[in-house]
Each structure stands twice: as structure tokens, then as C-alpha cells.
Amino acid sequence: MKIKYGYLLLAVLGISWTWYYNIQFFQTAEDTSLSNFIDQCLTTLPAKSVGADITVVCLTFFAWMIPESLRLKIKFWWALIPLTFMIAIAFTFPLFLYLRERRLEQING
């Protein structure tokens, strides 16, 4: 199996696993607003630690993804930035790796 399909599988896992919990939140919370969701993420020190960790991962991802996308001329790379916040970096990071691998295959013939 080509590595790019492994990345695609991880993207599917990333969207499925994170949204499994998001859907549970929307089904069980009385207040499903974005502000309440964010407040819930900031209620404990471990949650704040995970949030800080994910923030640094996102910034690092963007710092690498943007120049790499421009260098390789990957189409629609910019769509991954809002999707990171709307869906999850667990989805967009492996999706970018898939798009990058596919583009490298195109370049290398």
C-alpha cells in the first residue's frame, strides 16, 4: 500500500474520532454554543494543557504547510486552514500529507 493511502486513512480516522465526541457534546449539552464549547475546553488544567499543545501543533503545521504548499504548487492548500478550525487538525494534517504525497508523485512522474 502506498504511504499516501495511509495518510488518507489517518485523515478519515481524525475526522471520525474527533467528531464522535463533538456529536456527543451536541447531543448531551444544554448549551451547544461555540462559546460554551470553548469554555468546556478550558475548565481543567489538563484540558488547558491539551489546548496549548494543539495550538502549538497547529502553528507549527501552518508554518511548514504554507511554504511547502507554495513550493510544490499544491492546489487548494489554503482550504486546510479554515478546515483545521472547523473540523480538526487530526483531519487536515494527514489530509495535507496525502495531498503532498500525491503532488510529489505527479512531479516525479
Q: Please write the tens of the pLDDT for every residue from 36-52.
A: 998 998 899 999 999 99
If one counts every other C-beta atom within 10 angstroms of the C-beta of residue 73, the result is 10
Residue 56 CA neighbour count, 13 Å, CB half:
5
* pTM recorded for the entire structure: 0.89
Range of the domain at 31: 3-108
In Å, what is the CA distance from 18 to each residue of 23, 31, 79, 102?
9, 19, 19, 25
Euclidean distance between CA atoms 49 and 78, whole angstroms: 28
Euclidean distance between CA atoms 91 and 13, whole angstroms: 7
How many domains are contained in the chain? 1
The string of pLDDT tens digits covering residues 48-91 is 999 999 999 999 999 999 999 999 999 999 999 999 999 999 99
